[in-house]
Structure 1
Amino acid sequence: MDNKTLDLLEIRDQIDTIDKEIVELFEKRMQLSADVAEYKISNNKEVLDPKREKEKLMTLEHYASNSFNRVGVYELFRQMMAMSRKLQYRILAEHGKAGNISFRKVSSLPMQKAKVVFQGVEGAYSFTAMHSFFGESIENYNVETWRDAMEAIKNGDADYAVLPIENSTAGIVADIYDLLVEYHHSIVGEQIIQVDHALMALKNSTLEDIKTVYSHPQALSQCKKFLEEHPEWKAEKYLNTAMAAKKVKEDGDLTQAAIASPYAAQCFGLQILKPHVFSSQQNSTRFIIVSKEEIYQEEAGKISVCFEIPHESGSLYNTLSHFIYNDLNMTKIESRPIPEKKWEYRFFVDFEGNLSDSGVKNALYGISREVNNLRILGNY
């Protein structure tokens, strides 16, 4: 073994010794943080004091001997302070100081005399999702737009609405995310439907006759590869896949076709010119069930929230780390621009858990103290 190897081993031994000391000091610091939490509980003080933390970080970074280490010290202690806050939030929650969640737990969704609204017409994928979730006998009616469905819930004309929120091929339905913010309704369930798009037209029409293809923008996006094989066709956006099929039937034009489900072709007496025109064999759409009531079922296992964060470095990480520290599995994150705030974004997060769980309560309380406008969108 040469001298260089010996030197390296000695250096590593010294690093191990220092690391052990750092861990011991870290644990001492966290115990003091726990003492701070007890003091704040007794004196009704907030956990986060942004001004003090900023001043403390600026002081600590100047203890470092060079610019590289100053950045490192700043980041190290910023994370340490974030950990300290998470411990304090947990202690506050254990003392019943985390506030109350407005959602009410139920054994099952109220179904007696329930009425469901869906966007589109019979034969739409939302119609299929509705029957898959509620059963064939549920009282229902249709509206023209997603906003109309949200208004129906708001006005008490329906108890539940069925809305598409995400497709495995085309991604999120952005308008639904925006409507969830605008209307203070709650997600109480979800239903995943496998999407099987077909090209359909009048009984006497052929592929050679087609000039215009109508469908919902999401469906057109999902079938982009197929449509690109026919550059002579004009793709036209329509409110709903089944409504596009209905239009083709009512217009009686041999040059028109629609992309919709095979069930829609059956409903409106159209022939399928080309089956399975979707781009992926795994193409599925996730629908959410929305209610005006803030309720969640005992066995609910997924929570959706949205929030806004300060436009500064580390804000998103510090927010999401609350899930890590409470051993919660985050399954999805999306962002949408905030119209009234230029270049600022609202984040939507799905994670596993139930609003009755202590870890969920701790995480939501901690997040609520450090973000703007946290909203629980639902537990389902």
Structure 2
Amino acid sequence: MKKKIAFQGRRGAYSESAARYLFGEDIDVLPMDTFEEIYQAIETGKADGGAIPIENSTAGSIYENYDLLAKWRHPIIGEVQLQIEHCLCANKGASIESLKHVMSHPQALAQCSHFFEENPSIEKVIFFDTAGSAEEVAKRKNLTDGGIASTYAAKLYGLDVLRTNLENIKGVNFTRFYAIQKAPVDVSASENIKTVILFELANDDKPGALYGALGAFAKRGINMTRIESRPNPDKPWGYIFYASILANPKDPKVIEAFEELNRYTNFTYRLGSFVRGKTERLKYEA
């Protein structure tokens, strides 16, 4: 039986491509309207796993998913960095000259702002999803509406690709996706392991509290690649920290680091340990 993997958006979304990298091509995909529906589907067993975007190289963190990881605590079991390449798509017979409106997700519109500067007669229209914009254009069946999405989405909905690599700066737009599911996975003794943790400082008003907590890793030569803070929903002006470290939780020095970290925190929780992800390009075609 194929695994059912949930993602936010419509068929053809970048998250669908990420899901296939993370869980394999032989899966059934479950498009969801919201990120939280992914976690709910995993919790109830409707989905076996999910692909969630956590960070974009140009737009930054996807804060909603940081907060949902803390709320649901579904283990992270893998990651992939996907190169995002936008295309301009429209119904067959359309041209850039015939377009009056181009719709897409606000981030995609912003990332392709130079196109609209070069074509001031075309109005940009905000839509909830890149792939959803391609679906909507196909439904309208006219020559005046276009969308910004992936070439995969354009082909999936039978649209022509009028221009590829529409983004302002080519080759630097990447999104990191996590694979999540109900149960954690065991990691081998491989050195190429990333571990993601979240913690709350016990004395966050004490000078050097965060410095001391992070020092548990620094003094042991453990590389921390990212740290993020988010408001604690249960404690006004309190914060929860997320940290990514290149470390195997089975390593004795990592075990020691966590033991020292616990002296500075109210809680420490390991969200997941997994093989460090690769950078990939879109390759799935409709």
Which of residues 181, 202, 206 in structure 2 aligns to 1:291?
A: 181
Q: Which amino acid counterpart does residue 208 of structure 1 have in structure 2?
A: E
Which of residues 235, 249, 270 in structure 2 aligns to 1:355?
A: 249
User: Is 1:141 equivalent to 2:26 in the alignment?
Assistant: no
Q: Match of 1:243?
A: 132
Q: Which amino acid counterpart does residue 159 of structure 2 have in structure 1?
A: L
Q: Shift of residue 338 of structure 1?
A: 3.0
Q: Which amino acid counterpart does residue 282 of structure 1 have in structure 2?
A: V
Q: Shift of residue 217 of structure 1?
A: 3.2
Q: Match of 2:265?
A: 371
**How far apart in 2 are the matches of 1:143 and 1:173?**
17
Q: Match of 1:214?
A: 103
Which of residues 191, 197, 216 in structure 2 aligns to 1:305?
A: 197
Q: Shift of residue 274 of structure 1?
A: 2.2
- Cα distance, 1:183–1:271 mapped onto 2, change above 3 Å: same
- Cα distance, 1:301–1:254 mapped onto 2, change above 3 Å: same
Q: Match of 1:164?
A: 53
Displaced runs of 4+ in structure 1, greater than 6 A? Answer: none
Which of residues 139, 144, 150 in structure 2 aligns to 1:261?
A: 150
Structure holding more strand per residue: 2
- The answer on whether the counterparts of 1:161 and 1:290 sit within 8 Å (CA) in structure 2 is yes
**How far apart in 1 are the matches of 2:93 and 2:71?**
45
Please give the root-mean-square deviation of Cα atoms over the aligned residues, in Å: 2.2
Q: Match of 1:43?
A: none
Q: Shift of residue 276 of structure 1?
A: 0.5
Q: Which amino acid counterpart does residue 356 of structure 1 have in structure 2?
A: K
**How far apart in 2 are the matches of 1:312 and 1:372?**
14
Q: Percent of counterpart pairs with the same letter?
A: 39
- The answer on whether the counterparts of 1:165 and 1:286 sit within 8 Å (CA) in structure 2 is yes
Which of residues 317, 320, 323 in structure 1 aligns to 2:214?
A: 320
Taking structure 2 as the reference length, what is the TM-score of the superposition? Answer: 0.85
**How far apart in 1 are the matches of 2:200 and 2:219?**
20
Q: Shift of residue 174 of structure 1?
A: 1.5
**How far apart in 2 are the matches of 1:311 and 1:210?**
56
Unaligned runs of 5+ in 1: 1-111
Q: Shift of residue 315 of structure 1?
A: 1.9
Q: Which amino acid counterpart does residue 153 of structure 1 have in structure 2?
A: I
Q: Secondary structure at the match of 1:157?
A: coil
The aligned length equals 269
**1:294-342 deviation per Cα after TM superposition (whole angstroms, max 9, x unaligned):** 3332246001112223134322211111111222001112222334544
**How far apart in 2 are the matches of 1:207 and 1:344?**
50
- The answer on whether the counterparts of 2:16 and 2:29 sit within 8 Å (CA) in structure 1 is no
Q: Shift of residue 185 of structure 1?
A: 0.4
Which of residues 62, 68, 73 in structure 2 aligns to 1:173?
A: 62
**How far apart in 2 are the matches of 1:258 and 1:269?**
13
Q: Match of 1:93?
A: none
Q: Match of 1:252?
A: 141
Q: How does 1:178-189 map to 2 (within 5 A)?
A: 178-189=67-78
**How far apart in 2 are the matches of 1:233 and 1:368?**
56
**How far apart in 1 are the matches of 2:63 and 2:212?**
25
- The answer on whether the counterparts of 1:200 and 1:257 sit within 8 Å (CA) in structure 2 is yes
Q: Which amino acid counterpart does residue 315 of structure 1 have in structure 2?
A: A
**How far apart in 1 are the matches of 2:218 and 2:13?**
39
Q: Match of 2:278?
A: none
Q: How does 1:49-60 map to 2 (within 5 A)?
A: none
Q: Shift of residue 204 of structure 1?
A: 2.9
- Cα distance, 1:182–1:207 mapped onto 2, change above 3 Å: same
Q: Shift of residue 362 of structure 1?
A: 1.5
